């Protein structure tokens, strides 16, 4: 259960940051790469 909660929280942060980067003008792919470079892969982090 805790792992699932952590994954949900990380995904929320990733999605918010992705949307923010797109609002700032990055295309979806560039925003996604930037977000993953900042946060890492949420599945790996929550292990």
pLDDT in tens, 1-47: 787 888 888 889 999 999 999 999 999 999 999 998 988 877 676 66
Let me know if residue 7 belongs to a domain: yes
Give the chain's domain count: 1
CA 12, CA 42: separation in Å to the nearest integer? 10
For residues 15-44, one letter each, b for 16 or more C-beta atoms within 10 angstroms of the residue's C-beta and e for the rest, the string is eebbeebeeeebeeeebbeebeeeeeebee
Let me know if residue 44 belongs to a domain: no
Let me know if residue 28 belongs to a domain: yes
Let me know if residue 45 belongs to a domain: no
- Owning domain of residue 6: 2-38
DSSP state of 37: H
Give pTM, 2 decimals.
0.76
Let me know if residue 9 belongs to a domain: yes
Count the Cβ atoms, other than its own, within 10 Å of residue 14: 18
Q: What is the pLDDT of residue 46?
A: 62
Let me know if residue 43 belongs to a domain: no
CA 20, CA 2: separation in Å to the nearest integer? 27
Q: What is the pLDDT of residue 30?
A: 97
Q: What is the pLDDT of residue 9?
A: 87
């Amino acid at each position: 259960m805790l792992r699932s909660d952590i994954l949900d929280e990380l995904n929320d942060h990733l999605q918010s940051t992705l949307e923010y980067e797109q609002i700032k003008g990055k295309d979806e792919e560039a925003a996604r790469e930037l977000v993953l470079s900042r946060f890492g892969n949420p599945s790996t982090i929550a292990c």
